[in-house]
Structure 1
Amino acid sequence: MRMITFFLVGLTVHVVFFVSIFDIYFTSPLVHGMTPQATPLPPPASRLVLLVADGLRADSFFTLLPNGSSRAPYLRSIIEETGTWGVSHTRVPTESRPGHVALIAGFYEDVSAVAKGWKENPVEFDSVFNESRHTWCWGSPDILPMFAKGATGDHVYTHTYPAVEEDFASTDASKLDNWVFTQVKSFFLAAKSNSTLRASLLEDKNVLFLHLLGIDTNGHAHRPMSQEYQENIGLVDAGVSELVSMVEDFFGYDGRTAYVFTSDHGMTDWGSHGAGHPSETLTPLVVWGAGVHNAQRVTEPQLYKDDYLQDWKLEHLQRVDVNQADIAPLMASLIGVPIPVNSVGVLPLLYLNNSKQFKAESMYSNAIQVLEQFKVKMTQKRETTLSFLFTPYQLLTESKQAEFIHEARILMQLEKYEDAISLCQSLITNSLDGLVYYHTYDRFFLGCSVVLGFVGWTSYVVLIILKTHASLNRRPSLLQQIPGRTLMRLCMCVTMVITVFLLIQRSPITYYIYCLLPVPVWYFVLKESGTLTDLIRSAPSLPLWKCFGYFVLVAFGIELLVVSFFHRAMLTVGLVVLSLWPMLSGLFGKAKFRSLSWFLSCLCLAAFPLMPVVGREPNIHLVTCAGVLTLFTAACYLWSSHHRTPLQPSDRQQFVTQMLHVAVCAYVPSLTHSSLQQKQGLPLLNQIISWITLASSMLVPLLSSTRLFHRLLSIFLSLTATYLLLSTGSEALFPPVLSWLMFVWINIEQEAMIAQGVSGRQELSTIDFSANIDITKIRQLKLDDIRRSYFFVFFIITAFFGTGNIASINSFDPSSVYCFLTVFNPFVMGGLMMWKVIIPFIIVMCTFETIQVATQLSSRSLFLIVLVISDLMALHFFFLVQDYGSWLDIGTSISHYVIVMSMTIFLMLLSVVTHILTSRRFTLWRKSKMHFP
């Protein structure tokens, strides 16, 4: 019962620590209650046509063909003659929803949208569509509805194709773009005979939005260098040319239409997006029509970080780069609608062809719009902070705000428009910095509370380990009862003070949890302080130098794991060092064959962190080889085990069936890949086999014998079969090599037990997971158990990063799930990819469960050490979280902490699952007596 209580308390504490990062770093930056700001002067355009070519890379669009022609001749002519062009820089995550939110609403969406698959509106936000008089949209059902849902009134009209059309196995995904262009053509034809629709179209402040998904879908299915992707760019270009002619003809060539062509994100060479590679974050932007500058010639060379101008043959034309959120205020200024109130974009004036007064007034509206957000944010923070503790943002106090506004108006009255523009740009910069200041105002306070709780929890676990699982000289004292009452009163007083403080500040309920959690944690730490006294008393009898050496090595090992999050090659270094362990520990002379096997398996596994994690071309032959390797490993085991522990007929039948199943699963990816290449779609039989394999992967092992190696082999075969179906290349070899090392680890730990002189050791072949554990044989912790726990954490990190890293996890590459489905479904696809990540976890967890049984150590004691090591890593990453630098740096630092905390919580839950997976057995056919009345 105490074990269950400790488990639940530990799980709760870690969930709180995990959730805290979302309150500290992932809260929504949006505020409400601002007044919309619009330019008082008449706009240059009456309507705007926004075209978003989903997944279009800047280099794919701008680079000329070998013969000197362009893939997009019409848009190229716009760039060279009648429009202004540049590169739109996106932010991570480079996904469709956040990209469109940045384009149309002008702000960078917070991570809370991930939980809803980038589809729903986790928070209400304003957009150019909402501020328009009418907006007509055509395109994907994943993007369009969110802007209609967020609009006030009923003036955003969406036309979408069925979601089933977004099929990566489609013979021609460009049909999605053809559908959009066809629908727009029908729309304008209908408007000629529909007087109501025609009257609406002839009004001002209208927007037409075309979402073109074909390029993105073809890029996922065939890669951006494919003929399908390149030809789709030409199809879109031809469609844009026809659309412009149709629009101009409908409106009588009145010169009041502005056009914006861009992309929400790019795509890597291997057909994925989501991370921060330049191929994903650099997207094209072409603007032309009413109110837009014609192509501007330049004589001096332009300097850009990407240095692509010469490759694009555009160095003679002025290039105007923007941040993706800057496009929203640009569109709003062109048609004269208020800039979306949540926008953080800065109007790119170089695109505008208008008077200096118009530019100054537009920039002033932009500055006031951002300042309004700052004022609301400042007011909210002031109202929830005690006056003597409130520290305003010094660069933008109320007096300085008034001074900025007054000076800007004076400058415009004096017609010093360039000075006014410069002043407004300074005001925008200060307002944006101030928004960040107030958004992160409580970050240090909350961070200190979380760290205090973290340190307290880790200290408590260490004391519990020393108290219950270590041999110390214990001298209980009756005086320990007296300080306990005083300690309780002190904790209650601290709790009351913190609660009153948070009540006065009207803090959210989560703040109470983060601030009050350290109080009971530290109460129990101080309550167990007698264990420290016992440790000091026992110090003379302890091998201090050996203890010190172990702790130094573990500390070095933890640092190595931390660095491996940034540089996967450190795992290779770690595995090479681990391969030498039998030689360094003296085990090599006692178990040469097992030591040699350990050495080779470590070196084989060490090759995987050196392999590229993204950008790998599919190599289905390696998947087939992995299946053959799996069958060879299983056959070798069955042959060797026949002499030690003969298999029962039922077990032999199951293993043969599982091996045949693995053979089928090794062939299915090859058949699927071939079918998709021939554009014949996903074979139904392959899909059925894949889903049945997935559904049975955790159930089939429960039918096998609970003998140690028999059950482990069944788990290995079942999980590897699923992994093969989710693989596209060399990563398929990872589970067989990892399992080889895990089997060797189990055997070599037995040799280590002999070297330590532990009595009562069982033969591995006789161990049964389902047997009741003899409590009298459970031993106390030894220093070598710290090494075992560290090995486990190291192998867990290796299982996680052995075939991937942060970029590969963020990147969306659907090819791994083509055996299961090809129609776009982010939740199902994400779930399958997550299961692929979890499979190596389960293999390592089952091995650790086996070692706990084989070494006669309680699962709680070893797991507590693992918990301490994991928490030290999590605390390390908590301090490494940063809120400065590039968005990718910030996101990566947060991801590291989230991964470690998720792993800790996940391991606590997975330990229960693996215990069931190894020790339970189901029988399908059981003889039973039938009783009839």
Structure 2
Amino acid sequence: MGIPVFILAGLLVHFVFLASIFDIYFSSPLVHGMTPQQTPLPPPAKRLVLFVADGLRADSLFELNSNNTPQAPYLRAILENNGSWGVSHTRVPTESRPGHVALIAGFYEDVSAVAKGWKENPVEFDSVFNESKYTWSWGSPDILPMFAKGATGDHVYTFCYTAESEDFGAQDAAKLDTWVFDHVKSFFNSSRSNQTLFSALNEEKVVLFLHLLGIDTNGHAHRPYSKEYKENIRKVDEGVKEIVSMLESFYGNDGKTAYILTSDHGMTDWGSHGAGHPSETLTPLIAWGAGVNYPQEATSQLFEDNFLKEWKLENLKRMDVNQADIAPLMASLIGVPFPLNSVGTLPLEYLNNSDHFKAESMFTNALQVLEQFKVKMSQKKRTTLSFLFTQFKPLSDSEQINFLKKARVYIQQQKYREAVSLCKTLINLALEGLSYYHTYDRLFLGLSIAVSFVGWTTYVILVIIKTHTTLIKAAQSNNKESTGPVYGFTFVGMIIAFFLLIQTSPWTYYVYCLLPVPIWYAVVRELRVIKDPAANLWSLPIGQSVGFLLICTLGIELLVFSFFYRSALTVGLLVFAGWPVITQLYVQAKRTTLSWTLLCVLLAVFPLMPVVGREPNIPLVVAAGLTTLLISCFSLASFSRSKNKYQSKEDLKVYFYQMFSIALSTYVVSSTHNSLKNKQGLPVFNQIISWTTLASSSALPLLSPTLLFQRLFSILLSLMATYLLLSTGYEALFPLVLSGLMLVWIQMEQEALQHYGLSLKPKLAVFNFAYATDITQFRQLHLDDIRRSFFFVFFIVTAFFGTGNIASINSFDPASVYCFLTVFSPFIMGGLLLLKVVIPFLLVACAFEAVQVTTQLSSKSLFLIVLVISDIMALHFFFLVKDYGSWLDIGTSISHYVLVMSLTIFMMLMNGLAQLLTTKRLELTRRTKHHST
């Protein structure tokens, strides 16, 4: 297989491996074609008002101030005297879109849908708004349109402020909530002179939705314990009081309005959300008005969080719900059909109604969930051969009929408690059944991918042995190969395809199930290669080989472990620090060894630090900038003393401009955060400088000399200028220490070369990247090259986990991008945060490029070893993927697999980018051509 074909095949195979996880674990849980279910009895409320205080934590609302006064006096009085309360438990990802979908539609959106956008509906789903007679909503343009777009007909109306209003650097983000309250008041005032609108507002089954984004925005900008966040809660409290008073007056105190206040997600102490920390998943729920229970006294309540005593609410019954349970609660209160895709269970404790109404409502809830189960089961039955179909036994057709008949009899006999209990059992079984059929094909799809994985890794190892080692000679010139395997694998492929065809399986199933056939055919073709190594194994030093394999295995396991515990990287780096001593390299390079050990120990500190996202520490960022400038001055002096000093004034101009960019970036970071702290917004000058620095950082290294150390240092300065602008604390020092270690690594590999007595050992001081491609005689692989490849993978993983983890990447903290923009723009902000993650990767990739060319090793052979290491890691994570336990565990396990799979494809792109940055040079003016040794 030629190199282009191999790369194309590798990319295709890895793309299938990566895509498979979304098909197996992230497929949409939604089904369509259900019959709407509605409680037959008259509802207690004609209208419902839903307040969603975006980003409001449960403890922030319920806790008392230092002087024992409530944070929100009006809402505190409501839960003590008029309504019911509890904590709503959200699921990961704790973001606005999935949170609102769970609240209003009653189901937990799959991750693939979340990834498709904040405003659009990637999948059609039903909601309480859609089932209402009319819904009017006010608030953010990021949330409201998706419920209007998914609604049938023209009965969901939205009133949004502009996207530019969502400014994290604004003087007062609470104005977003004030805008909502003011527009609701003016809307109702205008209805008095608009008979059509007035009549519509007085209809039954009306929903008013107030989305309040100020608390979330202030939390991001100032943190949840700030004066701004707490003051915003007070303003929301006052606003809710005014709206309730206005509505009661408008409707003549008819007692037919139900109110619910809750939040889509919470927020960490450092102002981010997205992961599964309790501060993000525990949100408040207060309900009052028509059909809602009054406060209930409680003597002893036990909750894991132990908040009751702290909130001084231990005497009032706390009724916790899952976030999806709020949708059926709202539907029940105003008498609309339960959302078709809802998986919530109606929290009866919140209802102030007859036992008959509660039993009928729970029966409706059970029918609605059972409808989904029946549709899902029929879909799976239709696409599976009858003799292979295994039914979900607890809910066979006869069992379903028995449950429904028994529940109906209980209601007719007025045994309402028994009816409710039976309906809850039916709901739980139906939800289990939904999960059962949703994951029905998971086992055989997973096995297909695992078989492909093992085959691909085996094939790559055989290619390495065949083309990049001296183990094989004669085996490469075999006689004409047998056609037996071709016919055999073709027959197997046809059987699999036929089996899938008669089951009318999706086209992706063909890809996953047929992929092992060509992969294992390629393995069988190359298996003849293994004949010679098997014969020559005894000639190898067995002890050394076994020991090396054991070390490699331990190394890979350490890398896998580091995904769960960042401190494993610290252990690895400390082992690396002793590498020169173990291999006797310190004898010939004592000064370099000392630098290597020191930098390994310094870098080992970062994985022990708390994940980035805590309180900003701008002085550390400034210190990193000043340290970079100091190192630049020493480097300039060093380059001037060397034989290959800068060749022209243009070279010096580029270097000085980069130093100037570092100084400017340091100033901009300090200035911007001071300005935001003083509520003066993002200065336009700072914003221009930031974007200019970002735009120039990729081009500036291409203007510098292609001499090894000068080019690498130029790359560091350009990337460091951008990284400083994206930093908020100690992580600003990370690229400096990492780059220092990378430069020493290049020198250490040079010292290691003489172990193999290579004739050409280039001097690093005069090595020129531009002429590296002239080396045509690449040597064969040695055992030490496996160690080089492992070092590269280890440093790549360290570049990612050195200052963060999966949760920190998932949690959204906009403080990192304040130098570029403060107005909420998820895609631009996400892109900038991704760039921050990529910069350390790029520094490692450039160093690895230098190691490759200076050790005269073909990039293909080293990349193949890297491919094997990363694929073995990916196979680990494939088997570690969970579909049980907490949602954080499930999400983290899938994220690990996706990350490692992306790593292989990503490293190919990084290597290409590193080659461009190290070898190419832009000539802006005509220069005198210089010579290189």
TM-score bracket, normalised by the shorter chain, equals: over 0.9
Which residue does 1:391 correspond to in 2?
390
- Secondary structure in 2 matching 1:882: coil
Q: 1:803 and 1:266 mapped to 2: Cα distance?
A: 24
Q: Shift in Å at residue 118 of structure 1?
A: 2.4
Letter in 1 for 2:204: D
How is 1:16-415 mapped onto 2 (pairs within 5 angstroms)?
Answer: 16-299=16-299, 301-415=300-414
RMSD of aligned alpha carbons: 1.3
- Secondary structure in 1 matching 2:663: helix
Which residue does 2:606 correspond to in 1?
608
Q: 5+ unaligned residues in a row in structure 1: which ranges?
A: 929-933
Preserved CA contact (<8 Å) 1:270 1:614? no
- Secondary structure in 2 matching 1:49: strand
- Secondary structure in 1 matching 2:41: coil
Q: 1:482 and 1:182 mapped to 2: Cα distance?
A: 81
- The farther-off stretch of 167-176 and 652-661 is 652-661
Q: 1:775 and 1:764 mapped to 2: Cα distance?
A: 15
Preserved CA contact (<8 Å) 2:49 2:259? yes
- The farther-off stretch of 160-169 and 113-122 is 113-122
Letter in 2 for 1:588: Y
Q: 1:478 and 1:585 mapped to 2: Cα distance?
A: 38
1:679 matches 2:685: no
Q: Shift in Å at residue 21 of structure 1?
A: 0.5
- Secondary structure in 1 matching 2:265: coil
Which residue does 1:582 correspond to in 2?
580
Q: 1:76-126 CA distances to partner (integer Å, 9 max, x unpaired)?
A: 011101100000000011111110000000000111233333221110000
Preserved CA contact (<8 Å) 2:567 2:607? yes
Which residue does 2:738 correspond to in 1?
738
- Secondary structure in 1 matching 2:770: coil
Which residue does 2:765 correspond to in 1?
765
Preserved CA contact (<8 Å) 1:364 1:424? yes
Which residue does 1:566 correspond to in 2?
564
Preserved CA contact (<8 Å) 2:37 2:368? yes
Q: 1:560 and 1:590 mapped to 2: Cα distance?
A: 30
Q: Shift in Å at residue 774 of structure 1?
A: 4.7
Q: Shift in Å at residue 643 of structure 1?
A: 2.1
Q: Shift in Å at residue 157 of structure 1?
A: 0.6
Stretches of 4+ aligned residues off by more than 3 angstroms: 476-480, 772-777
Q: 1:901 and 1:827 mapped to 2: Cα distance?
A: 23
Q: 1:156 and 1:776 mapped to 2: Cα distance?
A: 69
Change (3 A) 1:196 1:776: closer
Q: Shift in Å at residue 767 of structure 1?
A: 1.9
Q: 1:196 and 1:839 mapped to 2: Cα distance?
A: 58
- The farther-off stretch of 315-324 and 632-641 is 632-641
Q: Shift in Å at residue 926 of structure 1?
A: 3.0
Which residue does 1:834 correspond to in 2?
834
Q: 1:528-568 CA distances to partner (integer Å, 9 max, x unpaired)?
A: 00111111122122122111111111110111111111111
- The farther-off stretch of 115-124 and 791-800 is 115-124
Which residue does 1:654 correspond to in 2?
654
Which residue does 1:498 correspond to in 2?
496
- The farther-off stretch of 133-142 and 636-645 is 636-645
Change (3 A) 1:512 1:18: same
Preserved CA contact (<8 Å) 2:475 2:531? no
Letter in 2 for 1:171: Q
Letter in 2 for 1:923: E
- Secondary structure in 2 matching 1:344: coil
- Secondary structure in 1 matching 2:260: strand
Q: 2:6 and 2:721 mapped to 1: Cα distance?
A: 36
Q: 1:736-755 CA distances to partner (integer Å, 9 max, x unpaired)?
A: 00000000000011111123
Q: Shift in Å at residue 467 of structure 1?
A: 0.2
Q: Shift in Å at residue 831 of structure 1?
A: 0.2
- The farther-off stretch of 598-607 and 189-198 is 189-198
Preserved CA contact (<8 Å) 2:775 2:856? no
Q: 1:476 and 1:277 mapped to 2: Cα distance?
A: 57
How is 1:424-823 mapped onto 2 (pairs within 5 angstroms)?
Answer: 424-476=423-475, 481-483=480-482, 485-641=483-639, 642-649=641-648, 650-771=650-771, 773-774=773-774, 777-823=777-823
Letter in 2 for 1:86: G
Q: 2:481 and 2:94 mapped to 1: Cα distance?
A: 60
Q: 2:633 and 2:743 mapped to 1: Cα distance?
A: 14
- Secondary structure in 2 matching 1:233: helix
Q: Shift in Å at residue 892 of structure 1?
A: 0.6
Q: 2:187 and 2:476 mapped to 1: Cα distance?
A: 88
- Secondary structure in 2 matching 1:207: strand
Q: 2:97 and 2:256 mapped to 1: Cα distance?
A: 30
- Secondary structure in 2 matching 1:607: helix
Q: 1:481 and 1:755 mapped to 2: Cα distance?
A: 41
Q: 1:321-378 CA distances to partner (integer Å, 9 max, x unpaired)?
A: 0000000000000000000000000000000011111000000000000000000000
Q: Shift in Å at residue 263 of structure 1?
A: 0.5
Which residue does 1:931 correspond to in 2?
none
The aligned length equals 926
Which residue does 2:931 correspond to in 1?
none
Q: Shift in Å at residue 478 of structure 1?
A: 7.8
- Secondary structure in 2 matching 1:230: helix
Letter in 2 for 1:493: F
Q: 1:246-267 CA distances to partner (integer Å, 9 max, x unpaired)?
A: 1111111111110000001001
Q: 2:114 and 2:153 mapped to 1: Cα distance?
A: 27
Preserved CA contact (<8 Å) 1:753 1:855? yes
Using structure 1 for the length normalisation, give the TM-score.
0.98
Q: Shift in Å at residue 789 of structure 1?
A: 0.6
Preserved CA contact (<8 Å) 2:97 2:114? no
Letter in 1 for 2:417: E
- Secondary structure in 2 matching 1:566: coil
- Secondary structure in 2 matching 1:771: helix
Q: 2:685 and 2:235 mapped to 1: Cα distance?
A: 35
Preserved CA contact (<8 Å) 1:881 1:897? yes
Q: 1:614 and 1:838 mapped to 2: Cα distance?
A: 15
Q: Shift in Å at residue 482 of structure 1?
A: 4.0
Preserved CA contact (<8 Å) 2:877 2:896? yes
- Secondary structure in 2 matching 1:116: coil
Preserved CA contact (<8 Å) 2:92 2:275? yes
Preserved CA contact (<8 Å) 2:105 2:324? yes
Q: Shift in Å at residue 464 of structure 1?
A: 0.3
Q: 1:157-193 CA distances to partner (integer Å, 9 max, x unpaired)?
A: 1000011000000000000100000001011111222
Q: 1:557-604 CA distances to partner (integer Å, 9 max, x unpaired)?
A: 111111111111111111111111011110111111000000000011
- Secondary structure in 2 matching 1:152: coil
Q: 1:432 and 1:571 mapped to 2: Cα distance?
A: 41
Q: 1:178 and 1:772 mapped to 2: Cα distance?
A: 64
- Secondary structure in 1 matching 2:125: coil
- The farther-off stretch of 752-761 and 890-899 is 752-761
Which residue does 2:7 correspond to in 1?
7
- Secondary structure in 2 matching 1:924: coil
- Secondary structure in 1 matching 2:50: strand
- Secondary structure in 2 matching 1:27: coil
1:926 matches 2:926: yes
Q: 1:892 and 1:772 mapped to 2: Cα distance?
A: 41
Letter in 2 for 1:112: S
Q: 1:599 and 1:128 mapped to 2: Cα distance?
A: 62
Q: 1:421 and 1:413 mapped to 2: Cα distance?
A: 13
